[in-house]
Amino acid sequence: MANSAQAKKRARQAAELRLHNMAQRSAYRTAVKKVRKAIDAGDKTAAQAALNENMSVMDRLADKRIVHKNKASRHKSRLSDAIKAMA
């Protein structure tokens, strides 16, 4: 456990940041699920619209390093391929 005032403050800040990052990661997963749900529904135009709408969420969180940029890129690619395969 932290003993100095500085270490106690850093522990408080780390806990607060952890909660914030968890919420951001949850929003990322929700964005991916929305696109997958649209793909499963079978409506290609709705799926494409959902991907375009949620791609900014994925990019933003990758830029902030909440999720790794390659992970975001991989999800976008696979979702895009799934939409293209619907034709």
Q: Give domain limits for the chain.
A: 5-84
pLDDT of residue 87: 75
Query: What mean pLDDT is predicted for residues 42-61?
Result: 95
pLDDT of residue 70: 98
Options 1.20.58.110, 3.30.430.20, 3.30.70.890, 3.40.47.40; CATH for 5-84 is: 1.20.58.110
**44 closest CA partner among 35, 55, 33, 31:** 35
> Phi, psi at residue 46, to the nearest 5°?
-70, -40
